[in-house]
Amino acid sequence: MGNYATLPTDDADLENTYSAGDVTDVESVNSVMVAQIATDQYAIHQYKENVGSATSATITWEGQTDFDPADSTVYLQIYNRNTTSWETVDSDSTSSIDTNFILTFYISSLTNYKDGSNAVASRVYQQSLATASASLSPSSSISPSVSPSSSISPSVSPSASTSPSLSPSSSISPSLSPSSSISPSLSPSSSLSPSSSASPSVSPSVSYVEATGGTVTYITGYTVHTFTTSDDFVVSVGGEIEYLVVAGGGGTKNNNASEGGGGAGGMLTGSTTVSADTHSIIVGAGGLGYYRATSSSGAGTGSNGDDSSLGSYVTATGGGVAGASGGSGGGASVYSSSVGSHGTGTVGQGYDGGTGALSRRSGGGGGAGAAGATSPTSNYGGVGGVGVQSSINGTATYYAGGGGASGYTSAGAAAGGLGGGAPGRYGSVTSAQNGTSNTGGGGGGASAATVGYSGSGGSGVVIIRYVS
């Protein structure tokens, strides 16, 4: 905020910053305000708010002035980055002095208003006359109040009643920052509420999603819910969320052939708007390998991974067992004189399993980032397809890697794909042939696994985050 002889033409930071005490004073709509004084100048409160991936928003500013709007209009403006100019979107010239009033505007498209960091700049200002000072004060959720004053001061005043100033009146959102502020958390700015928000009436802050469910953690700017098992996502205040949904990885066959790797669970990322409701979160289990009780038991095929879902909004498809289609396809198994089928992946979720080739070159399971491979070397298995990296929980992690194929020699067992895909094995399987839990990794193929399970897929995961 600040007082200026002429209105700034850009959205560069202003001269004054709200202190921690000022922020506390404007956290709720009441009589405590933070004032900006101007004499024969413009009293300005300027704000910047990160709106994330929102495509539309509502700006709402609430405050009061002790300088009659009938003599000098109070304006709400938004900065257009395409035209590099300020646009007036609302004004008030009729409200009484020392009385809260609201300026608001709905932006149907934020395309021309976001900067490279998805921040939108807005400001509220009033020009004082030469005979008096203007004090514009946002009260708790940002409300400007202009009041005449004999003093010429850019200082922050805790109350609009003691000095003419521009001060915010309604609650302050941590993500709203006055452009002059060092920290975006210190900003009683105009309320930029993403239109997807369930409660845009809270001014001037974004109406954040409020929810419970899963394991809740906090990273800079976000609340994160991680579901490693099925549960409910209970939303009390709806709004926009980001998500990662990974299904269970596919299992494998149990045979004396060169076995293919299991396909990774389907992986989906994106954003959506959730309603205030209870949304069922399903975390898909990994598909099992095939179980042989004794060395004389018949050979067989395991199972696909189970689907994972976020309510009715998003469903990721379970990974294919070796040779079968799924979120990502399972790799082909190869016999002494024939090549089995390979599975195909689901478009947008994962890739195909390796095709395999004669000379016992079994195919790796497909991953979310690439198809499973087929080795050029006889008796060697193909590596599993790589997964995809996500930092939705604040840590860069790969998910949904395909399982490695077994080959038909101990040296020919292939590695699993980055993202929880298990390696293949020639001989009896161990737990290492199971895809990593909560990554959706495919199971590792196993050749000559005469007793027990062949490789199973890793379970899936659902991670949700929203601005906080």
Each domain of the chain, given as residue ranges in start order, spans 2-194, 209-468
- pLDDT at position 312 is 97
Q: With contact defined as beta carbons under 8 Å apart, do 331 and 405 qualify?
A: yes
Per-position pLDDT tens, the chain of length 468: 788 888 899 998 888 877 766 666 665 566 677 788 877 788 888 888 888 878 778 888 888 888 888 888 888 999 999 888 898 988 888 888 888 888 888 786 888 899 877 889 999 988 766 545 556 666 444 333 333 332 223 333 333 332 333 444 433 333 333 333 323 332 333 444 444 333 333 333 346 899 999 999 999 999 999 999 999 999 999 999 999 999 999 999 988 889 999 999 999 999 999 999 999 999 999 999 998 887 777 778 999 999 999 999 999 999 999 999 999 999 999 998 999 999 999 999 999 999 999 999 999 999 999 999 999 999 999 999 999 999 999 999 999 999 999 999 989 999 999 999 999 998 878 889 999 999 999 999 988 766 788 899 999 999 999 999
**C-alpha neighbours within 13 Å on the C-beta side of residue 23:** 19
> Half-sphere exposure (CA, 13 Å, Cβ side) for 104?
15
Place of tokens 């704000």: 47
Q: Which residue has the tokens 């289609």?
A: 325
> What is the rounded distance in angstroms from the CA atom of residue 151 to the CA atom of residue 140?
24
| End-to-end Cα distance, the chain | 24
C-alpha 256, offset from chain centre: 45
> What pTM value is reported for the model?
0.59
Of the candidates 229, 233, 243, which has an alpha carbon nearest to the alpha carbon of residue 460? 229
Q: What integer pLDDT is reported at residue 48 of this predicted model?
A: 85
What pLDDT, on a 0 to 100 scale, did the predictor assign at position 7?
85
Q: Is 103:124 a contact under the CB 8 Å cutoff? A: yes
Q: Give the SS3 label for residue 240.
A: strand
The pLDDT, as a whole number, for residue 47 is: 85
pLDDT for the residue 397: 98
Name the amino acid, one letter, at 379. N
Report CA-CA distances (Å) from 449 to 341, 381, 429, 444, 455: 20, 15, 6, 12, 10
Q: Identify which of 448, 433, 446, 439 has the alpha carbon closest to the alpha carbon of residue 418.
A: 439
- At residue 26, the pLDDT reads 62
Instruction: Name the helix (H) or strand (E) containing 23.
Output: helix 20-25
Task: Give the pLDDT of residue 258.
Answer: 93
**pLDDT given for residue 170 in this prediction:** 37
Question: What is the dihedral sign for C-alpha 369, 371, 372, 374?
Answer: negative
Q: Indicate the SS3 state at residue 432.
A: helix
Task: Report the distance separating Cα 20 and Cα 11, nearest Å.
Answer: 23
